[in-house]
Amino acid sequence: MNKRNRLEYLILLSNKIEGFFSMKCVIPAAGLGTRFLPITKAQPKEMLPVYDRPTIQFVIEEAVASGIDDVLIVTSKDKRSIEDHFDRSCELEKNLEEHGKFDLLKTVEEMSDLADIFYIRQKKQKGLGDAIYCAKKHVGDEPFVVMLGDIVTKSDVPCTKQLIDLSKRYNSSVIAVEKVPDEKVERYGIIDGTMVSDDIYKVNALVEKPKISEKPSNLAIMGRYVLYPELFDYIEDTEPGAGGEIQLTDAMAKLSSVYASVFNGRSYDIGNKIDWLKTSLEFALTDMEHKDEILDYIHELIK
């Protein structure tokens, strides 16, 4: 167990007494980002900005808002900028303080204090399932959260918190899903499920990137998971699947119990250039200070 001060220990003990469990979060960020080349030749796709902050910062902020303070990021070669972003920058902080830029100083300091962030490298690109397997020692024998680094969500209750609450209710692995049109089915893992209550399904099967003619439903896995540690054993026994990679979906299909919850909120897939650009623009229009100026510019372009 990681060393904790007395207050952290008491909070953890209180949660366990009440029947809850502490969770760690795993964010796979080892992919090459080939769909964004040439931008991602020297910069991780997870560091691409959505308006005013890198994509992965939104993901970690969601984890923190869900009560998680232990985050493991699975990286690979040339992903050092992720570590640098969440590390302290004493020279920058000193400069901001000396020039009286205290709002910016607070923003920079908050980034490095978001959570306890750890890193491990995926030595070889063998798929999402393998990337998650890299977290086995860090996670241990308790349920854990997986959050894909190129999915951003918006909701009153954070998506990950919704899943954690549902996992506690069913004592089971839980995944977030959303309905997608037929033309997008081949991009995602798709579930075949039996509805057990409003927008909650007992998963019968999972299919990675099926053809439209073979899809079991239009419910797509959207990059947020609460998983039980038995998953690691199944990853070990999973052969390469779609794309010649070890697919997380294939390993999850072997779990004894999985529930799926239709996400009550809005998700943004930053996995391709157009959706990334649309998301950045939409987030920019929530900035009241610059919204009118941006809208005026859009109108000028339309003209």
Quote the DSSP letter at residue 29.
-
Burial 250-263 (b: 16+ CB within 10 A, else e): bbbbebeebbbbeb
CA distance 259 to 253: 11
Q: Mind listing the domains of the chain with CATH numbers?
A: 14-87+113-269 (3.90.550.10), 272-303 (no CATH)
Interval 150-199: pLDDT, tens: 899 999 999 999 999 999 999 999 999 999 888 888 888 899 989 998 89
Residue 12 half-sphere exposure toward CB, CA atoms < 13 A? 15
Supply 295's token pair: 């809208």
Model pLDDT, residue 177: 94
Identity at 96, one-letter amino acid code: L
Residues 6 or more apart from 68 whose CB is under 8 A from it?
23, 24, 25, 115, 145, 160
Give, to the nearest 10 degrees, the angle between helix 90-98 and helix 102-112. Answer: 160
Identity at 188, one-letter amino acid code: Y
CA distance 36 to 288: 29
Interval 280-303: pLDDT, tens: 999 999 999 999 999 999 999 998
pLDDT at 234 over 60: yes
Interval 42-72: pLDDT, tens: 888 889 999 989 999 999 999 999 999 899 9
pLDDT at 252 over 60: yes
- Whose CA is closest to 20, among 167, 182, 210, 239? 167
